[in-house]
Amino acid sequence: MLKKLNVAQVAAELDEPFSMMHVAVVGDIVVSIYICQGMLAWHEHLDVDELFWVYEGAIALESDWGEVQLRPGELAVVPKGVRHRSSAALRASVLLLRCGFIPQRKNGRRRLYAISGEAELKRVGLHNVVQALSGPYQFQAAARIDGSVVQAAWGGGIWAVEAPAPHDVLLFVLNGTATVHTTRDMLHLHPGDFTVVPQGAVYQLSTTQGTALVRVTHESPSPVRGEEP
């Protein structure tokens, strides 16, 4: 069954600074909501990337790759092995995405340490991604994390979707309204609402004019030239 979640409602249940609630699973990715207020100690994760997506308020995300200031609708990915900490002078609500298990790193991508200045954190504005799109229904990648992709798009009407869904799909409303139909459920989603369509579900997605959506799903590898897609 589909379940509608709202970031503000979940955040209202979290009383303590840096308290966290796991709210959804999308394939291998666990979606959590946490309250950033104060400053965490420096730390790193050797096996998983972390995606910080600010919903309300503002946070500073410091790392060995530099610092970014994130405001509502902005996100940044801290790669595995990069030392970092988050802080906020005032209460901020943040979505945190990370792999829910320790993935195998047979291809050498498991980072043991990061060199200061080797690269830099990139701040991505989801609304900027949407505004840069030339047409509707064109999901554009905003960030990638451990085999999954965060995408944004806009449009009004009936969306073309893969049915049945080949992977779990998280649908988040940035602005406007969306309706998700399955054979058993119908959800109306408003800004800050999201749901996860499970793998194998047959569903339909429709939106009001100009609605902007964020989608999180598994990123299928591009077919090798000469192979069938």
* Domain annotation covers residue 116: no
Indicate whether 228 pLDDT > 60: no
pLDDT of residue 106: 40
Q: Which residues contact 128 (CB under 8 A, 6 or more apart)?
A: none
Residue 42 near residue 83, CB atoms below 8 Å: yes
Instruction: State which of 50, 85, 101 marks the end of a domain.
Output: 101
13 and 73, same domain (yes or no): yes
Q: Which two tokens stand for residue 191?
A: 């800004």
- Calculate mean pLDDT across residues 188-211: 97
134 and 87, same domain (yes or no): no
Residue 148's domain spans which residues?
128-218
pLDDT of residue 229: 34
30 and 75, same domain (yes or no): yes
Which of residues 227 and 152 earns the better pLDDT score? 152
* Domain annotation covers residue 208: yes
Indicate whether 148 pLDDT > 80: yes
Spatial separation of the C-alpha atoms in residues 150 and 125, rounded to whole Å? 12
* Domain annotation covers residue 229: no
Q: What is the pLDDT of residues 44-103, one digit of tens each?
A: 988 889 999 999 999 999 999 999 999 999 999 999 989 999 999 999 999 999 998 765
* Domain annotation covers residue 70: yes
Spatial separation of the C-alpha atoms in residues 24 and 26, rounded to whole Å? 7
Instruction: State which of 53, 86, 101 marks the end of a domain.
Output: 101
pLDDT of residue 220: 76
CATH of the domain at 175: 2.60.120.10
96 and 153, same domain (yes or no): no
Total number of domains in the chain: 2
138 and 208, same domain (yes or no): yes
Spatial separation of the C-alpha atoms in residues 100 and 20, rounded to whole Å? 15
Q: Which two tokens stand for residue 229?
A: 């897609």
* Domain annotation covers residue 119: no
The percent of residues above 90 in pLDDT, for the chain, comes to 81
Stretch among 9-18, 31-40, 87-96, 105-114 having the lowest mean pLDDT:
105-114
pTM exceeds 0.85: yes
